[in-house]
Structures are given as structure tokens and as C-alpha cells.
């Protein structure tokens, strides 16, 4: 299998040709102000857009934002993204108020060489996410009709069998953008023969969300460090009380089995920050992981855990990190995530941040993004790749 790349398209010549770019502009929007809270995903697609503009393409960008129910919803409009994209490329970005309707057609028709338009949220059309192939394909026909070539640079969406990701590539000459190509190359290194020791750091809320990737990685890693809300199900599986911490009772037997099979390679916190409530101003103390009071819940890993995790990480040659160690959005419970992230930045080797909340934490905590080998834009997509699943959006580009 091989994938044609943006460079292949540029070599063919794109001057005056309409190129549809599927981007992942699903950025967090502040509910109060309507401002973009983190423009990382917009910045990530700039290399592809810039290359196309400089080569004279007419660039039509499409994306989703949030999870509207197949109909227009003002709180999910991409209008603020169009404004920010225009600021970043230092050029006007025309905004179509629909996806494939009259506004989309007239907006695209008005573009000239090197200009950019952004279509309204793809998920405002029910055909984008429909499980009915005929409905999805009908929408794909309309979307593909706006362009002469297709570039997928939305790695955060390639694990979805959606019209703009899976069906449009079958209707146009298709190519992988700079971002998608980089993501696949990086993750291929992790699934191949990574330099050892290979350490994986997993956090997040639930074991059930990460079970498939734990199962896939456990035979391959030298150490698997587990923090976040999911660690409490593992601690309970070891026989420790976890108070009112997040707990998946139905996963206890699974965790016992994983711990038994890991033969000491799974590393759990030895202390946690236990609070009286899930609130930024809640009373909290550091307690041993096997001594969480019955009326408290763990909201972060503790300083001893950070030190132990950092020691393991410091000896690694390859590190993959997905999921925060605690509720990093609340300053009182951010130290664990920041400490582990800082340890990863000091690794003399290849480090990958697996998108999603981890990437958001890097930026929210003021860490230097360039200190990591790669920060993925697709949390779910990167995990599914590491699980060995076929990603529909990547498969659609393969020849």
C-alpha cells in the first residue's frame, strides 16, 4: 500500500485548481466569550495550506466543530475559526455560511488563485456522520463537486468513517497532507521497533477507554505508568480503598488480570492528592495511595509518584504519553501532569504526546511544545493506530 502525498500533488501542478482540504479545526471555544481557547489545531494545518497557496491553488477548507446533531447550531459555527485562520495566514479567509449549499458554491466560485475559503461546520449536514451509506455518499458527492483534488490533513478525524474523511477521497484525486503524513510516520515508529527502554504514560478517566491500547501495548513496553482517574480502579484491584475516587467496578477483574500479566511492568502511583470534593477550592492533602480516606477522592498523583514516574521516564529512549495525571484544569491538581510532562521533555530520545487532553495540558501549563518530539493532533486516532486498528481516513488514501 502507498499513499500519495501533498508533494505529489504539488509536483502535478495546482495553479488555478480547486483543492478541498479536510482539516481538523475542532478547537475549544470559550462558552462565555466565544473566543478560541487554544488554536493549536489551526496552526497544525498551516504548512499544508501555505504550500497550496504558494503554488497557486484555490483552497477550500472544510472541518467539523463539536458534535451538533446534523443541523445548524450557532454555538458550533466555524465563523470564529475563519477569523483566526485569516489572522494566522495574514490573508482574508472567505466564510461560507453552509457546507454544500448556495453560500458554499458562490463563495468557492468567487475565489481566485492563492485564496482560501472555509465552509461551515460539516456536521451541520446529517450526511457527514450518517451510518446510512447512501446518505453519506450523497453528501460526499456534493462536497467533492466543489473541488478538483482532495487533501486530508485532519488526522484527528481519520478514525471516523465520515463522508468528508472516507467517501470524498473515492471521488477525487486524493493526497495526504503534511500533518497526516507526519502523524502516520511517527506512530509507525512506535508500532515498529522503538528504541528501548520504551515507556508509555497513560492517564485519563477510565480504564475502559484505554483498555484496548493497554492490551496492545503491554507486550511491547518496558514500563507502563498509569495515573489519572483510571489509576484508582487499578489501586482498588490491588485491594486498596479509594474513597469516593472515580472507580469502574466492572473493570476490577480486568485490572487484576493486567497486573498479573504485566509482571511488574505496570507502575501505579504511590501517593495521591485527595480532596473533599471535585472543586478547584476543595480542601485537599497528599496521602499514600493505599490510605485514601473514605470521604475523599483522588484528583491528582502526589509528589512521590511524580518523582518515581520521572525516574522511570529519565531512563527511557522512547516515550508515548496520552492522558493527564490529574484534573490539570484546576491549579490545585495540576502538579502531577506538569511534573510528568516536564520529565518527558528532558528525555534524551524520541517523545510523543498522544493528542487530546495531553496536548491541551502541554499548552495550558505553559510548557515548551518544541521540547517534545511530536505532539499529535488526534488523541482517539493515535490510540486506535497503536491498537492496530484500520483507520478509515488513512485506508481511503491508500492505493
Residues taking part in catalysis:
41, 206, 356, 380
Q: Annotated binding residue at 66?
A: yes
Work out the angle at residue 36's Cα, subtended by the Cα atoms of residues 101 and 367, and round it to the nearest 5 degrees.
Answer: 135
Q: Crossing angle for the helix pair 178-191 and 46-54, nearest 10 degrees? A: 140
Helix (H, G, I), strand (E, B) or coil at 46: helix
Cα separation of 66 and 74, whole Å? 11
Residue pair 80/30 in contact (Cβ under 8 Å)? The answer is: no
Q: Chain-centre distance of CA 124, in angstroms?
A: 22
Specify whether the CB–CB gap between 296 and 277 falls below 8 A. no
Residue 210 annotated as lining a ligand binding site: yes
Determine if residue 315 is left, alpha or beta; phi over 0 gives left, psi from -120 to 50 gives alpha, anything else beta. Answer: alpha
Q: Is 106 exposed, middle or buried (0-12, 13-18, 19+ CB in 10 A)?
A: exposed
Whether 53 has a binding-site annotation, put simply, is no
Query: Does the annotation flag 300 for ligand binding?
Result: no
**56 assigned to a ligand binding site:** no
336 is in an annotated binding site: no
90 is in an annotated binding site: no
160 is in an annotated binding site: yes
- 26 in a labelled binding site: yes
CA distances from 335 to 173, 256, 319, 361, 379 (A): 48, 28, 20, 11, 22
Please indicate if the annotation marks 302 as binding a ligand.
no
Q: Is 65 annotated as a binding residue?
A: yes
The secondary structure of residue 390, as a DSSP letter, is P
Cβ neighbours, 10 Å, residue 38: 15
Q: Is 298 annotated as a binding residue?
A: yes
Asked whether residue 357 is marked as a ligand-binding residue, the answer is yes
Radius of gyration of the chain (CA): 22
358 is in an annotated binding site: yes
Report how far residue 333's alpha carbon sits from residue 284's, in angstroms, rounded to the nearest whole number.
9
Under 8 Å between Cβ of 21 and 49: yes
Angle, CA of 233, 336 and 234, to the nearest 5°: 10
Residue 123 assigned as binding residue: yes
Q: How far apart are CA 1 and CA 209, in angstroms?
A: 30
Q: Binding site residues for substrate, as ranges?
A: 24-26, 41, 64-67, 123, 160
Q: Binding site residues, as ranges?
A: 24-26, 41, 64-67, 123, 160, 210, 298, 329, 355-358
Q: Binding site residues for ATP, as ranges?
A: 210, 298, 329, 355-358
Q: Binding site residues for (2R)-3-phosphoglycerate, as ranges?
A: 41, 123, 160
Amino acid at each position: 500500500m502507498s499513499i500519495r502525498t501533498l508533494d505529489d500533488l504539488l509536483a502535478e501542478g495546482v495553479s488555478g485548481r480547486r483543492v478541498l482540504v479536510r482539516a481538523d479545526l475542532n478547537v475549544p471555544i470559550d462558552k462565555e466569550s466565544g473566543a478560541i481557547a487554544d488554536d493549536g489545531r489551526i496552526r497544525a494545518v498551516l504548512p499544508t495550506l501555505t504550500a497550496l497557496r504558494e503554488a497557486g491553488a484555490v483552497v477550500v477548507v472544510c472541518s467539523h466543530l463539536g458534535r451538533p446533531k446534523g443541523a445548524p447550531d450557532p454555538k458550533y459555527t466555524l465563523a470564529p475559526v475563519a477569523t483566526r485562520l485569516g489572522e494566522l495566514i495574514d490573508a482574508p479567509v472567505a466564510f461560507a455560511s453552509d457546507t454544500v449549499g448556495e453560500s458554499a458554491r458562490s463563495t468557492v466560485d468567487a475565489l481566485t488563485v492563492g485564496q482560501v475559503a472555509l465552509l461551515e461546520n460539516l456536521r451541520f449536514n446529517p450526511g457527514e456522520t450518517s451510518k446510512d451509506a447512501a446518505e453519506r455518499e450523497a453528501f460526499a458527492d456534493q462536497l467533492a463537486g466543489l473541488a478538483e483534488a482532495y487533501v486530508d490533513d485532519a488526522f484527528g478525524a481519520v478514525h471516523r468513517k465520515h463522508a468528508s474523511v472516507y467517501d470524498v477521497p473515492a471521488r477525487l484525486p486524493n493526497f495526504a497532507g503534511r500533518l497526516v503524513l507526519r502523524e502516520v510516520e511517527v506512530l509507525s515508529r512506535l508500532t515498529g521497533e522503538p528504541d528501548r527502554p520504551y515507556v508509555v504514560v497513560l492517564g485519563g478517566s477510565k480504564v475502559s477507554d484505554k483498555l484496548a491500547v493497554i492490551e496492545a501495548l503491554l507486550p511491547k513496553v518496558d514500563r507502563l505508568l498509569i495515573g489519572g482517574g483510571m489509576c484508582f480502579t487499578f489501586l482498588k484491584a490491588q485491594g486498596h480503598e479509594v474513597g469516593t475516587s472515580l472507580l469502574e467496578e466492572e473493570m476490577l477483574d480486568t485490572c487484576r488480570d493486567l497486573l498479573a500479566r504485566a509482571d511488574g511492568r505496570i507502575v501505579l502511583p504511590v501517593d495521591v492528592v485527595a480532596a473533599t470534593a471535585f472543586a478547584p477550592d476543595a480542601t485537599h492533602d497528599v496521602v499514600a495511595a493505599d490510605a485514601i480516606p473514605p470521604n475523599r477522592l483522588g484528583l491528582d498523583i502526589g509528589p512521590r509518584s511524580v518523582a518515581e514516574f520521572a525516574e522511570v521516564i529519565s531512563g527511557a529512549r522512547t516515550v508515548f504519553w496520552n492522558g493527564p495525571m490529574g484534573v490539570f484544569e484546576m491549579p490545585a491538581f495540576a502538579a502531577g501532569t506538569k511534573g510528568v510532562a516536564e520529565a518527558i521533555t528532558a528525555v534524551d530520545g524520541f517523545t510523543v504526546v498522544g493528542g487530546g487532553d495531553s496536548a491541551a495540558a502541554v499548552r495550558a501549563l505553559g510548557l515548551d511544545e518544541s521540547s517534545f518530539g511530536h505532539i499529535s493532533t488526534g488523541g482517539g486516532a493515535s490510540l486506535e493506530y497503536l491498537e492496530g486498528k484500520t483507520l478509515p481516513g488513512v485506508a481511503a488514501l491508500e492505493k
